[in-house]
Amino acid sequence: MAKVRTEDLIERFQLELISGEDGLHRPIITSDISRPGIEIAGFHIYYPAERLQLLGRSELYFFDTLEDHVKRERARKICNDETPGIIISRGLDVPKELIDASEEKAVPVMRSQMTTTRLVSKLTNFLESRLAPTTAVHGVLVDIYGIGVLITGTSGVGKSETALELVKRGHQLVADDSVEIRQEQENTLVGTAPELIKHLLEIRGLGIINIMTLFGAGAIRNHKKISLVVHLELWNPNKTYDRLGLDEDRMKIIDTELTKLTIPVRPGRNLSVIVEVAAMNFRLKGMGMNAAQEFSDRLSDVIEEGEFEEY
């Protein structure tokens, strides 16, 4: 199913439908927007018909200078069978030739009161968000001090319990169990909760709880950029875990690689505090402060100076 149809734009931006109502079901497959000034001038070798077409003051003023038979020809050219719709900005008058062509080809013609530049910006942002590549990941997404932390791990390892403790410590829940992720821009992943389980958290032995009802609106977020992955796994005595933090694993989601930390789980470890500190340490690294690297450099200096044995 198409993610966006022309009729969605009318509802989202309060556009006025002028003509071409039969084409409102047309899918929009790209966030690119075309301003067909060169096509109105007569150049049709390359016409991106699959894009939304936006006509502003310049295009319409030029169109008005053409002879009537040329207007009809050019209007039919831009009303292509693939064209999802044509939008007129600034509340400008729509040429009769364009209305006739749009009715003939069932291409919706819509009008907005916004300026052309503002309309292009809003349409592009909306379409890029709705048409972005998406996936779903089993895990919990929490906003910790402004860092979107995706907590993953096998079922029953303690992800939801950790999230509950983090919420009690003042952080915000985005999604539990299933996280819908979309790549809005290059290297930018945004996570949300499926509508069915929004604001809900499942705790084994307790059942489903509503975080917003229990802790208030300040305990939840509808969406968050994902910056860090924390993977919880049961402690494996035969596995060597990183003790310094110099080695950095990566996890690829869609086309973006994220820093991944693996936290071993066993009785006595306070996972919520560990995850909270992991988020703060990640934030410090982004500011250029790396405690592990500073320790390694300090140790190297001591070894080079021949003072290591004194310690």
Q: Is 177 a catalytic residue?
A: yes
Q: Is 81 a catalytic residue?
A: no
202 carries a ligand binding annotation: yes
Q: Which of 76, 90, 130, 177 is catalytic?
A: 177
Which distant-in-sequence residues (6+ apart) come within 8 Å of 95 by Cβ?
Answer: 60, 63, 64, 71, 75
91 carries a ligand binding annotation: no
- DSSP code of residue 240: P
Question: Residue 211 burial by CB count (10 A; 0-12/13-18/19+): exposed, middle or buried?
Answer: buried
Q: Within its chain, how far is the Cα of 285 from the centroid?
A: 24
What stretches of 104-204 adopt beta strand conformation (E)?
109-111, 134-138, 140-144, 147-153, 172-175, 178-185, 188-192, 200-203
233 carries a ligand binding annotation: no
Q: Which of 5, 159, 171, 182 is catalytic?
A: 159
153 carries a ligand binding annotation: yes
285 carries a ligand binding annotation: no
154 carries a ligand binding annotation: yes
Q: Which of 69, 239, 243, 252 is catalytic?
A: 243
Count helices and strands in the chain by DSSP H and E runs: 10, 17
Q: Which of 12, 57, 138, 269 is catalytic?
A: 138
Q: Is 159 a catalytic residue?
A: yes
300 carries a ligand binding annotation: no
> Residue type at 124?
T
Q: From the annotation, which residues make up the binding site?
A: 153-160, 202
Task: Give the residue numbers of the binding site for Mg(2+).
Answer: 160, 202
User: Which residues are tagged catalytic?
Assistant: 138, 159, 177, 243
Binding residue numbers for ATP: 153-160
